[in-house]
Amino acid sequence: MVANSPTYTENNAGKPVGIAVLGMGTVGTEVIRLLAENSEDFRQRVGGPLELRGVAVDDTSKPRRGVDPEMITGDAHALIARDDVDVVVELIGGIEYPRELVLAALRAGKSVVTANKALVAAHADELAQAAEESGVDLYFEAAVAAAIPVVGMLRRSLAGDQIQRISGIVNGTTNFILDKMITEGMGYDEALQIATDLGYAEADPTADVDGHDAASKAAIMASLGFYTRVNFKDVHCEGIRDITAADIAAADKAGYVIKLLGICEKITDDQGNDAVNARVHPTLVAKDHPLASVNESYNAIFVEAEAAGSLMFYGNGAGGDPTASAVLGDLVGASRNKVHGGRAPGDNTYANLPIADFGEVHTRYHIDMEVVDRAGVLSDLSATFAQQGISLRTVRQEENEDGIARLIVVTHSAKESVLHDTVEALKKSSDVKKVHSVIRLDV
């Protein structure tokens, strides 16, 4: 035994931890059910019982299965303010109202667990500051890819490493749609309708198909991975609405599949200055890359770190059960800290790197266009690329009708701004009748 070694003390061992749940949709219902069914396991893991104090909902007249009606309230602020509430679980969704409630909880000295990626991506600085000032925890594992332990991995497991790049499929709805287009030859509209019928897509699918959901998650991953605050507005965002069956077929012929990726990386300019970039857009992924085989509504995050090398985290990234699993994992952590003392690692943005302009990012383009079928056209169009300093990796020409040929070009790596300007120049060329699509190769 080492002399004068510190003694571990359970400050509040056995003391109940009061839980308030805000919102009782699919995830909230599952969280409450599992809290009741596994109460003894949670007591053992935490060191004291987890006791539900109340559930705040919009419509108190609606029957709530599995909850004593006396626990249902329409006054979330009053529930948060109760002295017997120690941890608040926010599962409402949206931004402004949840922001108001979460800040009230943190400022009242209550730890918070949230699954709200839009809230965290938009107001992380404000929430982190409130948690720091009150000395409480702010957990949000479920905000990125549900049960896949992305936040914990970035905050703790890889905290001793240097992360170089994070790329991943972080939206199950768009992955399901693209998978149907790839495996069954569907068009976008047909695949979206199936996703809607099965409940993967909302009646208004904008947040998913336009990339906003993935952009919120990319902002969170970039902030954690590079110790720099990245907000939703900092993320370049493109969705999948314009992806066609022809794009899918062209990608397949070239040895790729199309995935909507969230990509976060640290880039270094010519002067050696570092910056952080986060972006979401359709991406051509080589068929032998691990992300290419992620199908249906599954998520996967591919991390490249200096010492650990390449790591991939895969699983269900949405849904009531997986999200509830992540919420309950956070709830155990926050409750354990209430019982035993201490805090979880908070946000650390010490690096405070600038946000790189998307135009400075190096990527590659896959350009599908119709051109005039004449002698020398390929040479002339190649000169357009050469004038911008862009070299071509592959060029494939397919004969078409009426003097028109289809030309598919894959470039070598170049700055996004230069590639974009080159495509604009091609569109103005009399030899180019139409640019069908421009898709990046970015993994």
Structure tokens at 88: 């608040």
How many other CB atoms sit within 10 Å of the CB of residue 147? 22
Structural contact between residues 87 and 111, judged by C-beta atoms closer than 8 angstroms: yes
As a whole number of Å, the CA-based R_g of the chain is 25
25 is in an annotated binding site: yes
Structural contact between residues 98 and 88, judged by C-beta atoms closer than 8 angstroms: no
Q: Which residues contact 83 (CB under 8 A, 6 or more apart)?
A: none
Question: Which is nearest to 439 in space by CA: 277, 280, 214, 281?
Answer: 281
202 is in an annotated binding site: yes
Q: Which residues contact 423 (CB under 8 A, 6 or more apart)?
A: 365, 367, 435, 438
- Please indicate whether residue 15 is annotated as part of the active site: no
Structural contact between residues 120 and 142, judged by C-beta atoms closer than 8 angstroms: no
Q: Which amino acid is at 37?
A: E
Starting at the edge strand that comes first in sequence, how are the strands of the sheet with 17-22 ordered? 72-73, 50-56, 17-22, 87-90, 111-114, 138-139
Structure tokens at 74: 């329409």
How many other CB atoms sit within 10 Å of the CB of residue 145? 32
Which residue of the set 62, 110, 180, 217 is catalytic?
217
- Angle separating helix axes 416-428 and 377-387, nearest 10 degrees: 140
22 is in an annotated binding site: yes
117 is in an annotated binding site: yes
Burial label, 6 (beta-carbon count in 10 A; 0-12, 13-18, 19+): exposed
Query: What three-state secondary structure class fits 118?
Result: helix
- What is d(CA 90, CA 98) in angstroms, rounded to the nearest whole number? 7
- What is d(CA 279, CA 296) in angstroms, rounded to the nearest whole number? 22
Q: Which residues contact 222 (CB under 8 A, 6 or more apart)?
A: 166, 228, 230, 235, 264, 276, 277, 278
24 is in an annotated binding site: yes
Structural contact between residues 181 and 187, judged by C-beta atoms closer than 8 angstroms: yes
27 is in an annotated binding site: yes
- Angle separating helix axes 172-184 and 188-197, nearest 10 degrees: 130
Q: Which residues belong to the annotated binding site for L-homoserine?
A: 202
Residues at the binding site for NADPH are 117
Residue ranges for the binding site for NADP(+)?
Answer: 22-29
The annotated binding site is made up of 22-29, 117, 202
Catalytic residues: 217
